[in-house]
């Protein structure tokens, strides 16, 4: 599973829309769409404060 697939998978597992995730990461919805479609990758600095809840 590559970065784009993981991003989409975890977003859906947490019942977030692209817009909701974009708001949490302070990026645009178009940026999330690009990441999920493999047209770019998130900068590691935008992911530093992200937490994955393994119980979901």
The predicted structure's pLDDT at residue 20:
96
Q: What Å distances lie between residue 56 and 4, 12, 14, CA to CA?
A: 19, 11, 7
What residue ranges define each of the domains in the chain, with the CATH number in brackets? 3-41 (1.10.260.40)
Question: Mind listing the pLDDT tens digit for each residue in 3-15?
Answer: 899 999 999 999 9
Confidence of residue 54 (pLDDT cuts 50, 70, 90): low
The H-or-E segment that residue 50 falls in is none
User: Which tokens is 25 given?
Assistant: 């990461």
Residues 19-53: pLDDT tens digits? 999 999 889 999 999 999 999 887 776 666 666 66
User: For residue 34, what pLDDT is reported?
Assistant: 96
């Amino acid at each position: 599973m590559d970065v784009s697939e993981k991003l989409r998978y975890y977003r859906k597992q947490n019942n977030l829309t692209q817009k909701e995730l974009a708001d949490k990461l302070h990026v645009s919805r178009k940026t999330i769409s690009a990441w999920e479609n493999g047209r770019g990758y998130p900068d590691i600095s935008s992911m530093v404060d992200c937490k994955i809840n393994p119980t979901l």
